[in-house]
A and B are shown apart, each in its own frame.
Chain A
Amino acid sequence: MSELTRDQIRDLMGEVMKAQGKVLPSDDSADLREIGFRSLDFSELALRVEDEIGDELNFDAPGLRQIAKVGDVLDFIEQLQSA
Chain B
Amino acid sequence: MTGQRRTTALIGDDNRVVVGGKTLTWRTLHKLPQLPSPAAVLVDNGADALAAVRHHAVHGTELLVATSSRVDLAMREELGESGFAVVIAGGDEHSVTPAKLKRVEESGRVWLLTSGSTGRPKRIGHTLETLTTVRGKQQPRTWLVPYSPGTYAWWQVVTLSLTQADQGLVVIEPSELETWPMIAAEHGVTAASGTPTFWRQTIYRDTEALAKVPLEQITLGGEPVDQAILDRLQEIFPQARISWIYASSEVGASIVVHDGKAGFPKAWLDREPDPEGERPILSVDGDELVISSPHHGAGLEGAHRTGDRVEFVGDRVLITGRLDTDEINVGGSKVSAGLVRNVLMDHPAVAWARVFARKAPLVGRMVAAEVVLDNDLGPITDADLVQWCTNRLPDYGVPRRIRFLAEIPQKETLKSDV
Contacts and interface: CB of A to CB of B under 8 A. Distances in A.
Contacts of B360: 43-44, 46-47
7 contacts: A40-B330, A40-B363, A40-B396, A43-B362, A43-B363, A44-B366, A44-B401
A56 B359 contact: yes
Given A43-B360, A43-B366, A57-B361, 16 more contacts: A18-B383, A19-B383, A19-B400, A39-B363, A43-B361, A43-B363, A43-B400, A44-B366, A44-B400, A44-B401, A46-B360, A47-B360, A47-B368, A47-B400, A51-B401, A59-B361
B359 to A, nearest CB: 7
Nearest to A77: B361
Interface in B359-375: 359-363, 366, 368
A18 B382 CA distance: 12
Nearest to A18: B383
A40 B400 contact: yes
Interface string B382-402: 010010000000011000110
Interface residues of A, number: 14
Interface in A18-51: 18-19, 39-40, 42-44, 46-48, 51
Contact of A47 (B330, B331, B396, B401): B401
A79 to B, nearest CB: 12
Counting chain A CB atoms within 10 Å of each CB, the highest count among B330, B331, B359 belongs to B359
A20 to B, nearest CB: 8
A59 B364 CA distance: 11
A23 to B, nearest CB: 15
Contacts of B401: 44, 47-48, 51
B109 interface: no
Interface residues of B, number: 16
A39 B362 contact: yes
B123 interface: no
B386 A19 contact: yes
B31 interface: no
B415 interface: no
> Interface of chain A, helix or strand or loop or mixed?
helix
B358 interface: yes
> Interface of chain B, helix or strand or loop or mixed?
mixed
A40 B359 contact: no
A57 B182 CA distance: 49
Contacts of A51: 401
A42 B395 CA distance: 14
A51 B368 CA distance: 12
Nearest to B362: A39
A17 B406 CA distance: 28
B383 A42 contact: no
Given A48-B401, A51-B401, A40 B383 contact: no
Nearest to A42: B362
Contacts of B363: 39-40, 43
Nearest to B401: A47
A47 B368 CA distance: 10
A62 B22 CA distance: 67
A70 to B, nearest CB: 16
Contact of B358 (A39, A47, A59): A47
Contacts of B358: 47
A42 B358 CA distance: 14
Given A47-B366, A47-B368, A40 B395 contact: yes
A81 to B, nearest CB: 13
A28 B386 CA distance: 27
A66 to B, nearest CB: 13
Contacts of A57: 361
A56 B358 CA distance: 11
B234 to A, nearest CB: 34
A61 B330 CA distance: 22
A39 B330 CA distance: 11
A57 B362 CA distance: 13
B69 to A, nearest CB: 31
A49 to B, nearest CB: 10
Contacts of A18: 383
A40 B361 contact: no
Contacts of A46: 360-361
Contacts of A47: 358, 360, 366, 368, 400-401
